[in-house]
Amino acid sequence: MNIKKLMELSQKPQLFERNKTLFWDDPHISKKMLEAHLNPDWDAASRKMSTIDKSVEWLNEDVFSKKDIKVLDLGCGPGLYASRLAKLSYSITGIDYSQRSINYAQKEATENNLDIKYIYQNYLTIDFEAEFDVIMLIFCDFGALTNEERDILLKKIYKALKPGGIFVFDVFTDRNRDKDVLSRSWEITEDGFWNEKPYLALTETFLYPEDDTLLDQTIVMTEDGETKIYRLFNHFYTKATITNVLDEFGFKDHSYYSDVTGKRYSKKSKTLAVVTRK
Ligand SMILES: C[S@@+](CC[C@H](N)C(=O)[O-])C[C@H]1O[C@@H](n2cnc3c(N)ncnc32)[C@H](O)[C@@H]1O
């Protein structure tokens, strides 16, 4: 084990300093991720199934205005929302850049006779014009974007929405800023999330207080000397900061909730869900 290299790797990186290591589309990680998505009781890759059911009920009853609308689900994962919404007769397109999740979602749709269009694509490259009544981005992926990526995506979403169309999404709030989230942990395992080989993983959370961003950094070392580093950044927002961003891109009539089940907005909530309009 090269301790000097390990010490270098474990330093706090620059804000949003990413590397090229595959994460969502890594063959092993995406397999473990799919298991996490599909575990009904985990709030990990997707929310628990009971929460997803409540979200879909809220979207169907309180957010979507009518049935004959076109919905685009960005970062749809294995289609847990898309399939439920399709069963309620909405016309759905799902986009994700995990090939494994898209394959699973497509297979499920075919087996259940659901007419859903799934696309394997980076959602930062979408190019639709006035095509959707609703665009959704669920489970706080908005915060994983740099400010530049966020701005690109908001422009693309605005363009892709029909006039009056809505964008529904959620973010982590500044309630995640507490010092107690700044943890360090390690894991040694033969059959873990990060690698198909036995590994030692060192995880540390860093806070970038000036940019309202948290980083979960994991260094994964296998016996053969291979070392990989995974960095998951997430920018958190307040009602005020997200409002400024949405105003800047022309969105209007923002409504705020504590989460995507439509729970009443509270300053104390760790998540904030927003419904906003073109
Ligand atoms: C936390 S999961 C949430 C999945 C789904 N929205 C849910 O709540 O069940 C994030 C998903 O977004 C996808 N994703 C992340 N960044 C993406 C991008 N730039 N383009 C397309 N998909 C992306 C990942 O592959 C993953 O399936």
In this structure, the number of other CB atoms found within 10 A of the CB of residue 61 comes to: 10
Dump pLDDT digits (tens) for 126-164. Answer: 999 999 999 999 999 999 999 999 999 999 999 999 999
Question: Do the beta carbons of residue 120 and residue 102 sit within 8 Å?
Answer: yes
Tokens read off for 48: 């628990």
6 residue type, one letter: L
Q: In the structure, what pLDDT confidence band is assigned to residue 182 with cuts at 50, 70 and 90? A: confident
24 Cβ inside 6 Å of ligand 1: yes
ipTM > 0.95, yes or no:
yes
79 pLDDT band (50/70/90 cuts)?
Answer: very high
The answer on pLDDT for 82 being more than 60 is yes
Domain 176-234: assigned CATH number: 2.20.25
Tokens for 2? 């090269």
The CA distance from 118 to 157, in Å, is 17
Structure tokens at 5: 């290299």
C-alpha span between 79 and 117 (Å, rounded): 10
**Which residue CA neighbors atom 14 of ligand 1 most closely?**
75
Domain boundaries, the chain: 27-174+236-277, 176-234
Question: Of all protein residues, whose CA lies closest to atom 11 belonging to ligand 1?
Answer: 75
Give the CATH architecture of domain 27-174+236-277.
3-Layer(aba) Sandwich (3.40)
Residue-wise pLDDT for 244-271, tens only, equals 999 999 999 999 999 999 999 999 999 9
Residue nearest to atom 22 of ligand 1 (CA): 96
Summarised one tens digit per residue, pLDDT across range 9-32 is 999 999 999 988 889 999 999 999
> Residue 277 contacts by C-beta under 8 Å, 6 or more apart in sequence?
164, 165, 166, 167, 251, 252, 253, 254
Mutation pick for ligand 1 pocket among 18, 53, 96, 137 (CB with most ligand atoms within 8 Å): 96
